[in-house]
Amino acid sequence: MKKNILLTLSILVLLELLSMIQAQITLKLYKYCIVGSGPGGLQMAYFLKKANRKYIVFEKNKISGSFFTHYPRHRQLLSVNKKFTGAKNAEFNLRHDWNSLLSDNASLIMPNYSDKYYPHADELVRYLNDYANQFKLNIQYDTNIVRISRVHYKKKIKFKMMDQRNTLTLCDVAIVSTGLSVPYIPPNITGIDLTEGYESISTNASDYEGQSVLILGQGNSAFETAQAISSTCNFLHMHGRGGVRLATSTHYIGDVRAVNSKVIDSYQLKTLDGLNEQDIRKMGFVKTPDNRIKDCPKTSKGDLEDDIRNSGYDRVIRCLGFQVLLKI
Ligand SMILES: *[C@@H]1O[C@H](CO)[C@@H](O)[C@H](O)[C@H]1NC(C)=O
Ligand SMILES: *[C@@H]1O[C@H](CO)[C@@H](O)[C@H](O)[C@H]1NC(C)=O
Ligand SMILES: *[C@@H]1O[C@H](CO)[C@@H](O)[C@H](O)[C@H]1NC(C)=O
Ligand SMILES: *[C@@H]1O[C@H](CO)[C@@H](O)[C@H](O)[C@H]1NC(C)=O
């Protein structure tokens, strides 16, 4: 008897839920749904709005461009902001302005926000949010899309987006512009939990005073970190695969930029910094009895000072880049 009542009740609840879901589906229908309001999402939204398309941007945080409130950790952008070019040609000037988004408002450009060649990242956040507000882009903040799936709806295939409150939206076109937002942690490395990541390290150089530090990675975030702590730490070692690629020689802007690479100078001039070619995927870490972190097995034939490597480091910092958020 009791079971029957329970069953009836749960069926009723289920029916109620289904009708609620149905209501939400019919309420929210967009041609274009964009996930993320970073530079890419904003730019897309601007042109969709201009073309009078029905679109919405879902942003999990309360502001646009929030990645740049935290990164780069030492707050200096790597993208060029050349305010003075001697030219009035907007196209020419844009070539020396790597931050601005496109729009028909010639005043809404990054050089109006900072005079610095490499601006502070906060200025970019301020710029992006002004851009979003100026054009009244249709951004729904505080909305984290946790699942995207494909469904049949009125004989058409649509994308179904579900947010953290289980609200559903149906879209014809789904655009994921979340960028590279998830720190890359290599799988299957013994003792990787002994390391700390670029995403959460202290940016106060005093915290590294007198320490021996090993940085994993030899890209811009690794060199940015190295540069920030090289005056306070004792020994600084860097491991990377395939050698350092300098933008000055490769001509690729994603390689290590001169603004970050002062440590190479001190390495080449035989001070206490060391760079080593080593495949991080083949490494492991153990804790020594005196609470230091040792890298092992020692597979490289590098020229890092062996006594430091043998006694272990005070800190091992992962600066191994970012990957796309794949779990939606
Ligand atoms: C912003 O830039 C434009 C185009 O270069 C310029 O005409 C304008 O005066 C600037 N505005 C401000 C507030 O700096
Ligand atoms: C262009 O952008 C600037 C800066 O946000 C703003 O002050 C100005 O009103 C805008 N101009 C137009 C025509 O919308
Ligand atoms: C990690 O280890 C697991 C189990 O040993 C294995 O199945 C997986 O393929 C490994 N992944 C990588 C990327 O090596
Ligand atoms: C950095 O750390 C030192 C030592 O712990 C502390 O005295 C100082 O206030 C910190 N500086 C900042 C800007 O937090």
Q: Where are the alpha helices (DSSP H) in the chain?
A: 2-27, 39-50, 67-70, 90-94, 121-134, 220-229, 247-250, 262-268, 306-311
Quick check: CB of 206 below 6 Å from ligand 4? yes
Going from the Cα of 60 to the center of ligand 1, the distance in angstroms, rounded, reads 32
CA pair distance 81, 114, nearest whole angstrom? 8
Cα–Cα separations (whole angstroms), residue 18 to 6, 21, 24, 25: 18, 5, 10, 10
Distance of CA 238 to the CA centre of its chain: 22
Burial class of 230 by CB neighbour count within 10 A (0 to 12, 13 to 18, 19+) = buried
Quick check: CB of 204 below 6 Å from ligand 4? yes
Contacts of residue 170, Cβ cutoff 8 Å, sequence gap at least 6: 25, 28, 29, 30, 151, 153, 158, 159, 160, 161
Going from the Cα of 127 to the center of ligand 2, the distance in angstroms, rounded, reads 12
Closest atom of ligand 3 to CA, residue 281: 14
Backbone angles phi and psi of 55, in degrees to 5: -140, 165
262: amino acid identity, one letter: K
Quick check: CB of 108 below 6 Å from ligand 2? yes
CB atoms within 10 A of CB 253: 12
Q: Which helix (H) or strand (E) holds 140?
A: strand 139-140
In order of start, what are the domains of the chain with their CATH numbers?
2-176 (3.50.50.60), 192-323 (3.50.50.60)
Q: What is the pLDDT along the chain (328 residues), one digit of tens a residue?
A: 566 766 666 776 666 666 556 545 446 899 999 999 999 999 999 999 999 999 999 999 999 999 999 999 999 999 999 999 999 998 999 999 999 999 999 999 999 999 999 999 999 999 999 999 999 999 999 999 999 999 999 899 999 999 999 999 999 999 999 999 899 998 889 999 999 999 999 999 999 999 999 999 989 999 999 999 988 998 888 888 878 888 888 888 888 888 888 777 766 655 556 677 777 778 889 999 999 998 875 555 555 566 667 788 999 999 999 998 777 7
Quick check: CB of 89 below 6 Å from ligand 1? no
Going from the Cα of 229 to the center of ligand 4, the distance in angstroms, rounded, reads 13
Atom 11, ligand 4: residue with shortest CA distance: 204
Q: What dihedral angle (degrees, nearest 10) is formed by the CA atoms of 300, 305, 310, 316?
A: -80
* Token pair belonging to 223: 């060199």
Quick check: CB of 326 below 6 Å from ligand 1? no
* Token pair belonging to 246: 């300098």
Tell me which residue of 37, 27, 62 sits closest to 169, measured CA to CA: 27
Going from the Cα of 279 to the center of ligand 1, the distance in angstroms, rounded, reads 48
Do 63 and 106 meet the contact criterion of CB atoms below 8 Å apart? no
SS3 state at 116: coil
pTM for this one?
0.86
Going from the Cα of 146 to the center of ligand 3, the distance in angstroms, rounded, reads 26
For a substitution probing ligand 1, which of 85, 91, 93, 107 has the most ligand atoms within 8 Å of its CB?
107
Ligand nearest to the CA of 281: 3
* DSSP per-residue codes, 225-251: HHHHHTTT-SEEEEEESS---BHHHH-
Cα–Cα separations (whole angstroms), residue 284 to 131, 241, 281: 46, 15, 8
